[in-house]
Each structure stands twice: as structure tokens, then as C-alpha cells.
Amino acid sequence: MIRAVKQRGVKTLEADAGRVVPELQRALEHVLMTLPGPPTRPRDLVNGLGIHHSLAWKITRIASGADPMGNAQFIPGRAGMDLFLDAAVKAGARGKSVEAVREAFARFRALIDSHAGDRPSLDLMLGGLGGEADKPSLRRSAYLCNSATWGVQVRTRILTKILHPSAGDAWDGTMDIALVRLFDGMRRVRPDAPLVLSRAVTVDNDGKARRTPIAEALDPAGGEARLMPAFCSTPAPTLYTAAGAEGVVEQRVRGGPVGEQGAVTLCTGEVQRRAAAAFADAHNTASRTAVEVRLPLQRLVVDVWVHRSICPRAVPRAFTYSEVSGVPWYRQSKELLQALPMAEDAVTVGWGLGAAALAGVPAYMSLIADTFQRLRWQPQEHVLHRLSVEFPVLATAVVLELDLPPRS
């Protein structure tokens, strides 16, 4: 629903577009109704008017779509609209209905000068009004631009977290957390670009670290980098460390060829013992799993496997938070934390290994099976929640959140 922002003496796009765009939609719909047939599919317009299929598709999409603002990006330019209307007149469309389209289209074009300055900007603004602010097609353009700027690309990045009650004579209400990170198809598009891996941090919901979990490598053969060699490319890439500000240490991949000849797949795995509370308390109400997007990614997958004794019926939620200020999302105040539009939803996939299948990464199910086997945890006792995002935006944090249950 479009809600006009009332400002005395000031025209707003919400008010003007909320009147003009539906008006153009109704006018186009009326023209189609006056044509012989009348046409209901793009093919009907192609056959009846002799126009190109892409133009026919746009006209029918606008005239019959349920979301006028979201479909505004498909409104043709002046040449395309003239071509359609001239063909409609020749095919027998009524003159008054055609003139109504021309007048409505002129008012639509006037929105450019009044509110946007150019048509692409107007399309973005109208898409935001129609709930289309976060579209993978737009993010893909940003991904290509960022790939050229930063000089790297990653085909698929996966963060897998497994939540399991900590072992011991008496359960103290804490969780062991296994973390598996997979960078599939990581490559340079510029020779001097660094391939940088990330590290995890475990904090409470208020951004403070109150525990010092003991981390163990899942595969002892993986060295200090905690690689899982069986799931890395061969030969195994060489890693080195680089010291950053405030004691942060980055792991980087030593140089190689540009493109697919130098592409690598990296997988790391560790388990953190007694890393977090399994129940809601004064500092935590939810389990949050986040990936801070620092590289151009084609796809980001966040998988959270939850043991049945923790929060098996929790409904997953997805968020994208801005980190453009340079402050990590978990350290930002509630007043300043900015949640960005997000097209994707987190879903509950199912129980056990059968839920792990992931299109485009055939080795992933074997990786999860190997992880559970090394931990001696039972996959059938875990439910998988998944968030998959195409072309996530740089300088954001993508978060999958699950409510923690109260201690009974």
C-alpha cells in the first residue's frame, strides 16, 4: 500500500506515483479490451499487432500485474509506447482509449523531472515503493562492479553452524558449536588482488564476549588454518597470515593465476566447546548466525543445524544489516542499527542428512556427513534451517536468527 507523506506545499513521489502509475495501468488495460480478441497473452499481441515479443510482454505485464509500482520498471520508453499505440490504432483500438494512454504516459514521464532526474533512478524509487528495493538482478550488477573493483569473486560461500548440547556429567545448559566454512570457486579477476578469508567471533546478543570457548580443529591434518583437506582444491592452496588493526589477524591465499586456472576451494572446520547458552537468559534471547560480506559473492548460504533438545520448533528469521559505518552490526546501538530490504527468507529444510543437499555444490552433503561423523553427533537428531542469498551486498551482515527457549 502506498502512503503519501504529507508535507504542506511539497509534492511527494509517493503521492504522485500512487496516482499516476495505477492510472496508466488502467488506461493500458482498457486499450487491450478494445482490441479484437481481446488479447490476454504476449503472443496475442505479437500476432495481432506485429510488435516484438519483449514489447508485448511488457505491455501485458503492466496492464495485468497485481503490483503497479513493482511493475513500473517495465513501462516502455517513449519510442516503445508510440510503437505499441500506433499498432493498436491500426488494429482497431478506440481513439479515446488510446488518447487516455498517451495522457497517462505523459504524466508518468513528468515524474522523472519532478522526482528523479532520469528514468533508471525513477525505476529504483518506484521499485522501493512497491517492495522491490532488494532484487537479485540489481544486486548482480553491483556484484560485477565490485568484482572489478576488489579484483576477486567467490562462486558460493557457505557458513554451516551445528548447535549441540555440551557434553559432561550434568548438562550445564551450554552449547558446543561446530563451524564449517566453505569458499567454493574463489578466484582473482585482477593479478594483485588478495584472497582474504574471514574469522568468526562468538558474542552475546549485546555484542559482548563473556565466554572464551575452547576451539578444536575438526581435522587434525588441517594445521593451524584448520583446513579440511579432503574438501579443498588440489593442490591445497597456501595460506599466510597478515596482521591488521586492533589485533585482527587475516588469513590470505598466496597468489596464483587470474580466473579459473587459479580458482581455489577452501574449507575450514572447528568446534567450540561450551561456546554459548542454549537457553534464553539476561544477555541472550536468540541464537544469531551471521556472515559479514567482505568479498563479492555469487551466492551466500547460511546453514544452522539445531539439536532437538535446544530449539527444534524455532522459526528462522532473516535480516541484512548495514555495516557501511565500519562498526560491526552486533556492536551498533539499536537506534543506529539499519536493517536493509531483503528479498530472501530463511526456511526450515528438514531433519537429518537428506536435508543437506545443495544445488551447485555436490560435495556439500559429503562434507556435512564427514563433519557429523568426526563430532560423533547424530545428524538425524538435528533440524536444518537455511538462508540462501544471491549476490549479497558488500559491507553488510547477513543474519539467520532463532529464538532460544526459556529454561524449563
Residue 184's domain is classified under what CATH number? 2.60.40
What was the pLDDT predicted at 4?
42
Sheet holding 297-307, edge to edge: 214-217, 264-277, 174-188, 152-165, 297-307, 382-390, 347-351
Same domain, 83 and 114: yes
What was the pLDDT predicted at 51?
94
Q: How far apart are CA 275 and CA 319, in angstroms?
A: 23
Length of the chain: 408
Same domain, 113 and 244: no
What was the pLDDT predicted at 257?
77
Same domain, 154 and 121: no
Sheet holding 317-322, edge to edge: 286-293, 396-403, 317-322
> Does the residue 1 lie in any domain?
no
> Does the residue 4 lie in any domain?
no
Same domain, 143 and 236: yes
The residue written with cell numbers 551466492 in the block is 299
Enclosing H/E stretch for 250: strand 249-253
Nine cell digits for residue 270? 572447528
| Last residue within a domain, chosen from 129, 162, 197 | 129
Please check whether residue 110 is in contact with residue 19, taking contact to mean a CB–CB distance below 8 angstroms.
no
Same domain, 49 and 162: no
Other CB atoms within 10 A of residue 312 CB = 14
Same domain, 39 and 188: no
* Angle (CA) 228 365 214, round 5°: 40
Mean pLDDT, 10 residues at a time, the chain of 408 residues: 46 88 94 89 93 94 84 91 95 92 94 88 78 68 90 95 86 91 92 71 57 80 89 83 61 78 90 90 88 94 96 92 90 89 92 95 96 97 97 94 89
What residues make up the domain containing 247? 137-403
User: SS3 for 248?
Assistant: coil
Instruction: Name every residue whose Cβ is closer than 8 Å to that of residue 322 and which is 6 or more positions away in sequence.
Output: 329, 338, 340, 395, 396
Q: What is the DSSP letter of 350?
A: E
Same domain, 123 and 153: no
> Helices (DSSP H) in 162-272: which residue ranges?
none
> Does the residue 75 lie in any domain?
yes
> Does the residue 5 lie in any domain?
no
Nine cell digits for residue 378? 547424530
Amino acid identity of residue 292, one-letter, is: E
Same domain, 321 and 374: yes
Parallel, antiparallel or unpaired: strands 382-390 and 239-243: unpaired
Q: How far apart are CA 307 and CA 351, in angstroms?
A: 10
Same domain, 78 and 208: no
Q: How far apart are CA 57 and CA 64, in angstroms?
A: 11
> Does the residue 2 lie in any domain?
no
> Does the residue 366 lie in any domain?
yes
What was the pLDDT predicted at 3?
44
Same domain, 300 and 171: yes
| Last residue within a domain, chosen from 129, 156, 178 | 129
Buried b (16+ CB within 10 A) or exposed e, 228-248: beebbeeeebebeeeeeeeee
Same domain, 167 and 254: yes
User: SS3 for 194?
Assistant: coil
Q: How far apart are CA 169 and CA 167, in angstroms?
A: 7
* Domains: count for the chain: 2
| Last residue within a domain, chosen from 89, 109, 129 | 129
Same domain, 289 and 371: yes
Q: Based on the number of CB atoms within 10 Å of its own CB, is 299 exposed (0-12), middle (13-18) or buried (19 or more)?
A: buried
What was the pLDDT predicted at 38?
85
> Does the residue 258 lie in any domain?
yes
Q: How far apart are CA 15 and CA 345, in angstroms?
A: 30
* pTM, to two decimals: 0.73
Parallel, antiparallel or unpaired: strands 249-253 and 195-197: antiparallel
